[in-house]
Amino acid sequence: MTPSPVKILYIDDEENNLLAFKASFRRLYEIYTAKSAEEGLKILENLPVEVIIADQKMPGITGVEFFKSIAYSYPDPIRILLTGYTDIAALADAINHGDIYRYITKPWNDLELHNSIKNAYDAYRSKIDLRNKIKELEKTNDELNRFIYSISHELRAPLVSVIGIVNLVKMEGLYHSSGEYWELIESCSNKLDYYIQKTLQYYKNNKVETIHTEVNFQKLVDDIIALYAYNHKDTQFKVNINQPHKFIGDSFRIEVILGNLISNAIKYQKNNETEKMVEISISVSHSVAEISIADNGLGILNEHLEKIFTQFFKSKNNKGSGLGLFIVKEALNKINGKISVSSNIDYGTTFKITIPNAC
């Protein structure tokens, strides 16, 4: 199939220039001409033009001013400016504002103008192709996220049933009646539930809009501890919440951040530690909330400290998915928060977080 010729709009108040342009390029391009900016605008309203050529010196409006006036309404056509005199200030202004692709002096050289039009059309096609590819990627990404979210929910329903059955078996004293089978079922179910929850957190963190509400850190921390420490009765908690000021923030993402860090502090304790300890300190001011979460657990090797926020990074001691700290960092980025970490394999790990107060 023969490709359609490039559609060009040429605006010039000099009739001779319009005729000369048509005579030179009518066999190469689909040409539309206008004697004024008003005529040119009417053509743009009715035709999908790909390249616009305008003379700089026209009565009432210059070529640069015309290009600026249509930049918002018609951003796609590539602009070429013809100028019969050197107005460096006007050209610099036009180029700096992205209004022209290039300028050509009059009288033009046919070969130079022809090459400029070809290059301009290539730039136009690249712009359109890039936009289409971005739309396709956004559509694909959105569909993938929705698929992941849907599948995660569908998986969670039967999984909760399995975990419920295991709990019933425990209540009836039959947990150890079949060797290690019930323990294996529980372990696999909990691990799968953990992966599903992290997947949902990742999805929601990317998709949910930031909504500012009042945050009660004492209640939030108590709820998180009750949730994650249920099966870790031997872990002690030292909680110090100093919130004399109202804190307004993204409660969903703050809960995700604290939930991941506190659950990690519980999970990565040393098996032989007789005094497992997690210390949580939060101080709220008019401007920020400063949070510290420390444990006396396994600790992190120095060479791993720069990698722990990387997606799917897992050290030898990592029992999770490699997503938790990545989600923490992504959530903090969404709310302009900051995080730092210090760790020693003998004494444990401390995370320090700063979250702006939107109050």
Residue the block writes with tokens 């957190």 = 201
Distance CA 346, CA 348 (A): 6
**Predicted TM-score (pTM) of this structure:** 0.58
CB 293 within 8 A of CB 224: no
Token pair listed for 206: 């990317």
Residue 188: per-residue pLDDT: 85
pLDDT in tens, 69-101: 898 899 999 999 988 765 666 666 666 655 788
pLDDT in tens, 288-302: 999 999 999 888 888
Spatial CB neighbours of 227, under 8 Å, sequence gap ≥ 6? 259
CB 31 within 8 A of CB 25: yes
Fill in the amino acid letter for 277: M
Q: What is the 3-state secondary structure (H, E, C) of the chain?
A: CCCCCCEEEEECCCHHHHHHHHHHHCCCCEEEEECCHHHHHHHHHHCCCCEEEEECCCCCCCHHHHHHHHCCCCCCCEEEEEECCCCHHHHHHHHHCCCCCEEEECCCCHHHHHHHHHHHHHHHHHHHHHHHHHHHHHHHHHHHHHHHHHHHHHHHHHHHHHHHHHHHHHHCCCCCCCCCHHHHHHHHHHHHHHHHHHHHHHHHHHHCCCCEEECCHHHHHHHHHHHHCCCCCCEEEEEEEECCCCCEEEHHHHHHHHHHHHHHHHHCCCCCCCCEEEEEEEEECCCEEEEEEEECCCCCCHHHCCCCCCCCCCCCCCCCCCCHHHHHHHHHHHCCCEEEEEEECCCEEEEEEEEECCC
pLDDT in tens, 218-244: 999 999 998 888 777 788 999 999 999
Residue 8: per-residue pLDDT: 95
Region 316-338: what's the mean pLDDT? Answer: 81
Neighbours of 27 (CB within 10 A): 8
* Domains, the chain: 7-108 (3.40.50.2300), 138-207 (1.10.287), 212-356 (3.30.565.10)
Region 260-275: what's the mean pLDDT? Answer: 87
Look at phi and psi of residue 98 and say left if phi exceeds 0, alpha if psi is from -120 to 50, else beta. left
Percent of the chain topping pLDDT 70: 92
CB 188 within 8 A of CB 225: no
Distance CA 298, CA 66 (A): 67
Residue 317: per-residue pLDDT: 57
Whole-number average pLDDT of the chain: 86
CB 272 within 8 A of CB 296: no
CB 121 within 8 A of CB 6: yes
Task: Give exposure, 65-76, as e/b (b: 16+ Cβ within 10 Å).
Answer: bbbbebeeebee
Residue 32: per-residue pLDDT: 95
Residue 101: per-residue pLDDT: 87
Fill in the amino acid letter for 218: Q
Q: Nearest-5° angle of CA 92, CA 98, CA 100?
A: 75
Distance CA 100, CA 79 (A): 5
